[in-house]
Amino acid sequence: MMLRCAMKCLDCDCNVSDIVDVHDAFAEEVIAPVPVQACARPTRDMMAHTMGHGAAASTWRPKKPTPKATELPWQLSSREVRDTVLLSGRFTKADKVAYMRDVEKELQKCGIRTFMVKAGAGQDFGVLTAMGLHRARAMVAFCTSTYGERTRVGYETYQELKYVHENGEDGAKIALLPIKLAEVYPPCPPDEVGRSLCRLAFSRSLVYVDGLLDGTSYKQAEDVAKLIVESLRRMNLLHEVTK
């Protein structure tokens, strides 16, 4: 038998046909038009591939490309969380560093989230300080006589105090809580730039915690921690920095 196949052109809507020899029991019939490229006559190989040799012939359809999944861009939350108390002090003497760490432990016992730089081998002191300032809701300044000195050696108390002063309640909302640990207050570092900043940041209206017993020795770390917690409560910050 002879099987006639009609093909429809996509552009001009004309019909093109070809005759293919098919050994079948059916008489001549017309297959439904199939879209092809503009005025391109189908070859015998195409017809043989698209038509079955059985009783029912299938119509060829071009495969549609599988759509690729759309990749959404990574989005970071713009919400800034400040829920930590940063402990700031000069690491010039081992006994003073140990005292600040003892106060930190007592604050943690009270449920306060604290941050104090403890740079180990291979760690960047400046990066850790920046992280602490970024998360700080309040900064406790252990005001020894040279606190705030501008040494120009990496990150230091001068830069910490400057950042907090410039980003106070009207900016990044970092509260400043001084701990008086020397007879002279505000601190009086040897450089003029540091002294000027201390006089500006530690104003007379800023209430400090007295950490001295008799003018020279420090109060117990537990007692100072309790005074800090009470100050945070009066400043209405305790709920923001408590675990």
Domains of the chain and CATH, by start? 2-50 (no CATH), 84-241 (3.40.50.10140)
**25-67 residue pLDDT tens:** 433 444 444 444 444 455 555 544 444 444 444 555 655 555 4
Lowest mean pLDDT segment, chosen from 71-75, 107-111, 147-151, 186-190: 71-75
**121-171 residue pLDDT tens:** 445 677 888 888 989 999 999 999 999 999 887 678 999 999 999 887 554
Q: Within 13 Å, how many C-alpha atoms sit on residue 227's CB side?
A: 18
| DSSP secondary structure code for residue 169 in this structure | T
| DSSP secondary structure code for residue 93 in this structure | S
Lowest mean pLDDT segment, chosen from 64-68, 178-182, 238-242: 64-68
Look at residue 64 in the predicted model and tell me its pLDDT: 56
The span from the CA of 168 to the CA of 158, in Å, is 15
Residue, of 82 and 10, whose pLDDT is higher: 82
By the 8 A CB rule, do 53 and 22 touch?
yes
The span from the CA of 156 to the CA of 91, in Å, is 9
Lowest mean pLDDT segment, chosen from 74-78, 102-106, 116-120, 222-226: 74-78
Query: How much is the pTM?
Result: 0.65
Nearest by Cα to 60 from 48, 72, 68, 71: 48
**If you average pLDDT over every residue of the chain, what do you get?**
75
By the 8 A CB rule, do 140 and 228 touch?
yes
Look at residue 14 in the predicted model and tell me its pLDDT: 47
Look at residue 124 in the predicted model and tell me its pLDDT: 64
